[in-house]
Structure formats: C-alpha cells, structure tokens
Amino acid sequence: MSDLTVTETPIPGLLVVRLPLHGDSRGWFKENWQRAKMTALGLPDFGPVQNNMSFNAARGATRGIHTEPWDKFVSVATGRVFAAWVDMREGASFGATYSVEIGPDVAVFVPRGVGNSYQALEDGTVYSYLVNDHWRPGFAYPALNLADPTAAIPWPIPLTSDEVEISEKDLANPVLEDVTPMPPKKTLILGARGQLGRALAAAFPDAERVDLDGLDISSATAVEAWPWHEYGVVLNAAAYTAVDLAETAEGRVTSWSANAVAPALLARAATEHRLTLVHVSSDYVFDGAPRQARGTDAEHTDAEPVEAALEHTEDEAFAPLGVYGQSKAAGDIAVATTPRHYLVRTSWVIGDGNNFVRTMARLAADGVSPKVVSDQIGRLTFTATLADAIAHLVRTGAPYGTYNVSNAGEPLSWQQIAAEVFALSGRPREDVAATTTQEYFAGAVAAGKPISPRPLNSALSLARIRSVGFEPEDQLEMLKEYLA
C-alpha cells in the first residue's frame, strides 16, 4: 500500500493524487476524497457540491475535451482510463497538455478552465467526478477536438480505430486555434462611486463596478438573485460613514443596514459560491484605548490622555463607542464567518472627494485660522495606498484574515495634520490652534445635535500587512503628493 501523495503537473493547478488502496481477498477500499488529509498536502479545499459518474460500456469509449467553468476531482470507481487535459485558460499556459493513466489508485484535481477528456481502457469502466458547482442547462463553455494536432494527445487506442466511440457533438468540437480561451472569473467592486471605490477601479482596471442603484446589497432578495457564479473576488467599498447622523433614529437604521446587514448577506453569498470577499472596516470598532494598554474593564472618557505609541492590533477585542462603530463591528463579525475573506481595517481615509485635508487646504487658501482637535491621534490612509494594499493581498494570495492598513509614519493628531496642510499651503503652522474633542463639540451638544463619540487613539498596528510584503508609504510624503 502506497502513501497518499499530491504532485504538480506542467499545467498550473492540475494535481495528481496517488491514493492508498486497502485490499484483501474480498477486493479493496479507498478514501477517494478525504478533505483533511488532501488539503494538508496542498489540494485546494474546493468545496464539491455534486458527484457525477459516467459508465463506459466498452473499451474505447472516448469523451471530451470539455472545459467546464468549475473545479473537478476525477477518478475511476472501476476499470481504467487514459485521461488527458489541455489548458484552455487565458494566459501563458494556454494550450499546455498533460496525460496520465487513471486506475483506482489515482485521482486528479482539475482546476476551472482546464479541458478534461478520457478514453476507457477496459469494458465497464466507471468514471467519477466531484464538481464544486451545479450543472446548469443551456450554459456554453469552450471545448476542443479530441484529435487537435496542436495538443497532439497520444491516445493509446487511435481515434481512427473501430474500437473507439465518440459522440457526434465531440467530433464537431473546434481545433485549438479556433478556441476562445476561458477568461478568469470576474472581480466586482461594490460602492464604486465612492472615494475608495474609485481608487479600487484604478487598481483593478478590469473589474466590474456597481453601486446601490445596480445592486442593493442590504436586500436579501437582490443579493440572492445576483449571478455570483461569474465572479471570483468581491471588493466591498460600500458603507454608511455619516458617523454623527448614525446617532439619529433614521441614521441608526441606515447604518445597521449598510454596515452590518449587507456584509452579512455578502458573507453568506461568498461562502455559498466560494468567493474571496474583501471588506473594508474602521478604527471606530475600537474605543481608542488598546486592550493591552489598559484593563478590559477600564472606562473611557474624552478626558483620558492617549499615548501615540499604543496601536490597535487586528485581534484586539471590539469596544465601539457609537452606533457607526457598533454597526461596523457587527459587519466585521459577519465577514469573518466566510472562509475566503480579507477584512481590511483602516482609519482617517483621504481620497478623491470631500475630506479633512481638502477642507484644511481650502481654509488655508481662504485666510481662515481654524481650531482643530489635538487629542485624537492616528494616521491618514490615502485611498491609493488602501487600494494597493488590497490588490497586494488578493494577487499574492496572502493568508485570509484581518489586516490593518493605513499610511506609515508617526501617529499624529488632527491638529498636527492640519498644521502640516497649512505649511504645505504657504501658511504658518501656528495658524492652526489646538482644542479638545470635548471643547470642539460643546456647542453642537448644547444645541441638541447628534454627535458620535470619537476614539481618541486610531493608530493601527501595521505589523501584519508588512509581514505579507506590503510596505505603506509615509503619510506625510503622501500628503505632499496629494496636495501637489
């Protein structure tokens, strides 16, 4: 009895599995699909949903070359086949071939877009395949002629032999030069018109873009009806970010709908369709006092000092102060339930639109000398950096999970950033006066306006995103470029 092994082939992602057979005088037993053992050896956890079997009455039955848009795990239940594959995917490996004889002790993982074919070598051969999507009638996909001269598959029984039986449909399949390669699954950007959505469109130029008017992701009916089988990656940049309005009766409903219900629906769709879900979260899921810096039972007030050296880590316990933060934390919990997720937590986002930096630049130009809070500490996150970090995670296949992303550099207060904007605009830094958060909102609170509590420390640890090879640019260098 041999050991279970998984080996690569010249076709990227096509893997040959050698299966131990446990035999005695009665016959044999095998574990044809054993998720834990096989994934530990490098087989993708592809999530089969359907098991098909093809009975081949006589030696010489030949089928293919079919390129279905799903992954397959092929084997034989009885008999033997000569199996061959041709890469039909867009890219450098288009047209690559591989073949192997499959008996009960061999199985092959076939990735989406690789053409699959076989020839029965014994009478009564039963060919079995697990697939990770349900067959849909009327769905067309690429196919290749079994006798294609470019692929030049070395069929052990010549296709011209009287033993060989091929369907009329397979005989009519085109040759390789007439085949349109199968494109990869699409990337979808949600919230495409926002600051981050526009930056993601630049980082993923081939992505499909949609907004609320195209897909209401807070509607279970709309999400369920979307053709998710066409997509491989979903980038969720949609959110309700009016933190003060979230404290109103109407805003509370909208905030929870956009920031909690929508991510939960997306997570469910991602699990069902094996999507990679990228969801953007916020420093507002924390109260501004990292758990490692103070006891978990300590109370937080605006009067507490904040040490800039203390940074929030990805695994810190949630402690949101307001409705916006609470709804974002709920969305984070939901997204973390789907296996293939990147939860990207960020802070103080600056992009193509109205934001703090542009407001300060306008005040500097208008001769205004503002008061800006000096007790809220954090780092700016420019949308270009955030989009590049997301692209890095997706394209490098970084381990799934939560990553903090902001620009680098020493954490600063809003007042220090405003002073830097003034200096870059030709105004003295001293023209930006300091105030506290409590003093800044005192008038609004007295007037009964809704004000969300702010975390005083929004600095996020960047150790994990750096550990996967992404180095964020310094926030002050990016600020200079942005204002230029």
Q: Is 240 a catalytic residue?
A: no
- In the set 118, 127, 129, 440, the catalytic residue is 129
Q: Is 129 a catalytic residue?
A: yes
Q: Give Cα 445 to chain centroid, integer Å.
A: 41
Specify the amino acid at residue 325: G
Q: Which two tokens stand for residue 173?
A: 């399949």
Give CA–CA dist 462/135, Å, rounded: 44
Q: Which two tokens stand for residue 290?
A: 């990292």
- In the set 66, 98, 141, 229, the catalytic residue is 66
Q: Is the peptide bond before 189 cis (omega within 30 degrees of 0)?
A: no
Give CA–CA dist 224/269, Å, rounded: 7
Residue pair 46/57 in contact (Cβ under 8 Å)? The answer is no
Which residues are part of the catalytic machinery? Answer: 66, 129
